[in-house]
Amino acid sequence: MAILSERTIVLLFFLSSLIIHGSPKPTLLYSFCTENSNYVPNSTYQSSLNVLLTSLSSDATILNGRKFHNTTAGQAPDMVYGLYLCRGDVTDAVCQDCVQTASQEILTKCPNRKEALSWYDQCMLRYSNRSIFSIMEERPMLTMSNSLDMDDPDRFDQIVNKTMVGLIEKATHNSSERDMFETGEANFNASTKIYGLVQCTPDLSGSNCSTCLENIFSRITNCCLGKQGARILVPSCNFRYELYPFYGDLAAATPPAPAPSPLSLLSPPGKKGNSSQLLIAIIVPVAGTLIISGFLCYCWLNRKRKAKKKYSSTEEEKVENDITTVQSLQFDFGTLEAATNNFSDDNKIGEGGFGDVYKGTLSSGKEIAIKRLSRSSAQGAVEFKNEVVLVAKLQHRNLVRLLGFCLEGEEKILVYEYVPNKSLDCFLFDPDKQGQLDWSRRYKIIGGIARGILYLHEDSQLKVIHRDLKASNVLLDGDMNPKISDFGMARIFGGDQTRGSTKRVVGTYGYMSPEYAMRGHFSAKSDVYSFGVLVLEIISGKKISHFYESDQTEDLLGYAWKLWRDGTPLELMDPIMRDSYARNEVIRCIHMGLLCVQEDPDDRPSMASVVLMLSSYSVTLPLPQQPAFFIGSGTQSGFPIKAESDQSTSKSTPWSVNETSISELYPR
Ligand SMILES: *[C@@H]1O[C@H](CO)[C@@H](O)[C@H](O)[C@H]1NC(C)=O
Ligand SMILES: *[C@@H]1O[C@H](CO)[C@@H](O)[C@H](O)[C@H]1NC(C)=O
Ligand SMILES: *[C@@H]1O[C@H](CO)[C@@H](O)[C@H](O)[C@H]1NC(C)=O
Ligand SMILES: *[C@@H]1O[C@H](CO)[C@@H](O)[C@H](O)[C@H]1NC(C)=O
Ligand SMILES: *[C@@H]1O[C@H](CO)[C@@H](O)[C@H](O)[C@H]1NC(C)=O
Ligand SMILES: *[C@@H]1O[C@H](CO)[C@@H](O)[C@H](O)[C@H]1NC(C)=O
Ligand SMILES: *[C@@H]1O[C@H](CO)[C@@H](O)[C@H](O)[C@H]1NC(C)=O
């Protein structure tokens, strides 16, 4: 696995330019947390890191026009190197605000990582356990492209090329005097200008800066030719160009040329022509094996169900009958240690952003799944208990039951019902197992998931939005009934379900609705979106990310939409099911799936309507609009491209919640 020294991951999603642009608050573009670089909580490294971040953010208070600072904290081997870079045109106050926000947020975005980097619209913050000063680094790479096409791409690209090459020259030539930053504009036609920006970290030499910018600029041929704007960021340099001013006073004074409401921003070209969408590709280097292993579906193996059948009834009944009290839900740490053989690696069945998951066997023989939350949970003990009690009350045959918790010292642990089969993705996307899911089985799974989500949204006492519904969060029991896992994690982990937006985006790219991915706005309709993606995956047997890997020019949603529009929806179907299926059901499910992934949340059906659509043929479905994430451009073959989610589905267990690279893209 280690043979592959560098791999890249590309995530594609759209981002509206308004987000980057209109908000005075620091706007997080992306946090990259280096995999496999965890430090031990409470270690010397952690204290060095805290000192470093404090020092960086306090340095930002005495900027005096300086946009860059590097510093270190601690002693080898626990020395931490850190730096920040503010966009060259922002004021000291904005820079300071951005660096302070970044130093706080990076700890929650990348808990316990020895190396991390956060890109905001206004600044970059970066730290590492190795020296990162004066070294040109071009990985990880964040690529964003405006998805609107130019009418006259050849001429446009020529002018862009000339403009940007000129800016690079200017920025790097007089590098001692300049901050390795340059902006400029060029006329495209009488009424339209092209605005450009380039910047390097000023610790580079001029020639290194120039190399860095030239290298990343040459990447536009892979992503962005013919597009109205593009932006590529790597640790050492970045550039951007658009048809509207996005820097300096101009940005503040002029609204972005297209200044539609936030929602219409997401509309695909053609539907509402005014919007400015960005296609983002995030190219992440791979420090090692995690990603490769990500593609191997580490499923739950050798699950024995007999023990559960034999022993479980008494304890489960107890839980059911006496659920309201905290005591009845509390597990003793010693019990869980014993059940998991001291949290031995052999018992580990998963790893996710919220923590590791172990399989345990109680002394009674009852099998349980134990999620040991990583310690970065901000939640206090009382709050934690309260949330667990609430979430434990959510009981439905299509939900994995939360049996209890353990709270001891720093430890926060959740105890779940053990579900013997693997997660849905292990069947759906495995050529050897796909065959086990025939149409009627898949249809039932779709219905089960819909009812589980409906319960969370409407039928339970508290309204819960899942926020990370995806194939790997749907477990299958012995009879292949779907059970949704990981609901309520936002609550338990210290989120706020009642507010309609959040700093902590916990979803998975591809499954996240545009409004959630970009602005952190979540609602029941963002779950509906994820459900729609899941339905299309179930029907097609293809991952939402699948299409990025091939030469196809659109993603799963775009593909499904096109087939639908062309009147050949059945071609979407997994060929393995072609022999026996109910035509009406399949078409209806595709129809419903497309309704769920529409861009405007108001256009998407509620889960109640979805359940109705599935159960009654008399309901007439409206015609779907083109899906939100309609990706019109292909990705180039140079990258072994995978979608984010695969990364931490890696040790993939049904339990993992992906927070690694993808999640948490946008704060509020
Ligand atoms: C940084 O941390 C990683 C992960 O723990 C380790 O493999 C690497 O050797 C460290 N680098 C330095 C320079 O200490
Ligand atoms: C970890 O850090 C916390 C807070 O700084 C402290 O209270 C606790 O004693 C530490 N635990 C260990 C094992 O060092
Ligand atoms: C910042 O980086 C430069 C170049 O590597 C180095 O000489 C300088 O000591 C660094 N500053 C700090 C405070 O470490
Ligand atoms: C950067 O510049 C220095 C000299 O200024 C050079 O030695 C080095 O090779 C350059 N390249 C990188 C990748 O740092
Ligand atoms: C460098 O800057 C000086 C002063 O701003 C200017 O006169 C000179 O032409 C610049 N050199 C280049 C190569 O741009
Ligand atoms: C200039 O170019 C823009 C973008 O292609 C176009 O919308 C606009 O109509 C053009 N204006 C003129 C006067 O050609
Ligand atoms: C820019 O133009 C030069 C010269 O025409 C060409 O060699 C280069 O490939 C172009 N770069 C891009 C990114 O289009």
Global pTM reads 0.48
Distance (Å, whole) CA 171 – CA 210: 8
484 lies in some domain = yes
622 lies in some domain = no
Binding site annotation covers 308? no
Report which ligand 6 atom has the smallest distance to the Cα of 156: 5
Distance (Å, whole) CA 252 – CA 230: 20
Residues 397, 428, single domain; the answer is no
Q: Does 173 contact ligand 5 (Cβ within 6 A)? A: yes
Q: Give the distance from CA 213 to its chain's centroid.
A: 27
Residues 518, 603, single domain; the answer is yes
Q: Does 277 contact ligand 1 (Cβ within 6 A)? A: no
Place 383 in a pLDDT band, splitting at 50, 70 and 90.
Answer: confident
Q: Which of 578, 596, 615 is the last residue of a domain?
A: 615
CA pseudo-torsion sign 469, 645, 521, 224? negative
- Ligand 4: distance of its center to the CA of 208 in Å? 6
Residues 154, 170, single domain; the answer is yes
Distance (Å, whole) CA 183 – CA 167: 7
* Per-residue tokens: 599: 């861009």
Residues 438, 499, single domain; the answer is yes
306 lies in some domain = no
Place 388 in a pLDDT band, splitting at 50, 70 and 90.
Answer: confident
Distance (Å, whole) CA 450 – CA 463: 15
- Nearest C-alpha neighbor of 350 from the set 408, 426, 405: 426
Mutate to test the pocket of ligand 7, among 161, 194, 219 (most ligand atoms within 8 A of CB): 161
Tens digits of residue pLDDT in 334-367: 899 999 999 998 998 887 667 888 999 988 888 9
Distance (Å, whole) CA 661 – CA 284: 9
CA 639 → CA 120, 139, 295, 458, distances in Å?
A: 25, 13, 15, 43
Domain of residue 526, residue span: 424-615
**Per-residue pLDDT at 310 exceeds 90:** no
* Per-residue tokens: 593: 């799936």
Residues 434, 567, single domain; the answer is yes
CATH of the domain at 195: 3.30.430.20
642 lies in some domain = no
Ligand nearest to the CA of 172: 5
With b for 16 or more beta-carbon neighbours within 10 A and e for fewer, the 89-115 pattern comes to: bbebebbbbbbbbbbebbbbbbbbbbb
CATH of the domain at 549: 1.10.510.10
Is 430 among the catalytic positions?
A: no
User: With helix as H, strand as E and coil as C, how does 282-337 read?
Assistant: EEECCCCCHHHHHHCCCCCCCCCCHHHHHHHHHHHHHHHHCCCCHHHHECCHHHHH
Q: Does 43 contact ligand 1 (Cβ within 6 A)? A: no
Residues 117, 168, single domain; the answer is no
pLDDT at 666: 23
Active-site residue, selected from the candidate residues 97, 356, 468, 574: 468
Q: Does 205 contact ligand 3 (Cβ within 6 A)? A: no
Ligand nearest to the CA of 156: 6
Report which ligand 3 atom has the smallest distance to the Cα of 70: 1
Residues 376, 405, single domain; the answer is yes
CA 364 → CA 53, 85, 392, 654, distances in Å?
A: 48, 57, 21, 24
Place 12 in a pLDDT band, splitting at 50, 70 and 90.
Answer: very low
Tens digits of residue pLDDT in 193-235: 999 999 999 999 889 999 999 999 998 887 788 888 899 999 9
Q: Which of 74, 100, 128 is the last residue of a domain?
A: 128
Tens digits of residue pLDDT in 573-627: 999 888 888 888 999 999 999 999 999 999 999 999 999 888 877 677 788 888 8
Residues 383, 432, single domain; the answer is no
- Ligand 1: distance of its center to the CA of 113 in Å? 11
Classify residue 637 by burial, with Cβ atoms within 10 Å: 0-12, 13-18, 19+: exposed
Residues 353, 450, single domain; the answer is no
Distance (Å, whole) CA 8 – CA 15: 21
Residue closest by Cα to atom 10 of ligand 4: 208
Distance (Å, whole) CA 71 – CA 146: 35
% of the chain exceeding 90 in pLDDT: 37
Ligand nearest to the CA of 133: 3
Q: Does 218 contact ligand 7 (Cβ within 6 A)? A: yes
Q: Does 203 contact ligand 3 (Cβ within 6 A)? A: yes
- Total domains in the fold of the chain: 4
Q: How many CA atoms lie within 13 A of 9 on its CB side?
A: 27
Q: What is the largest CA-CA distance in the chain?
A: 80
Report which ligand 5 atom has the smallest distance to the Cα of 170: 14
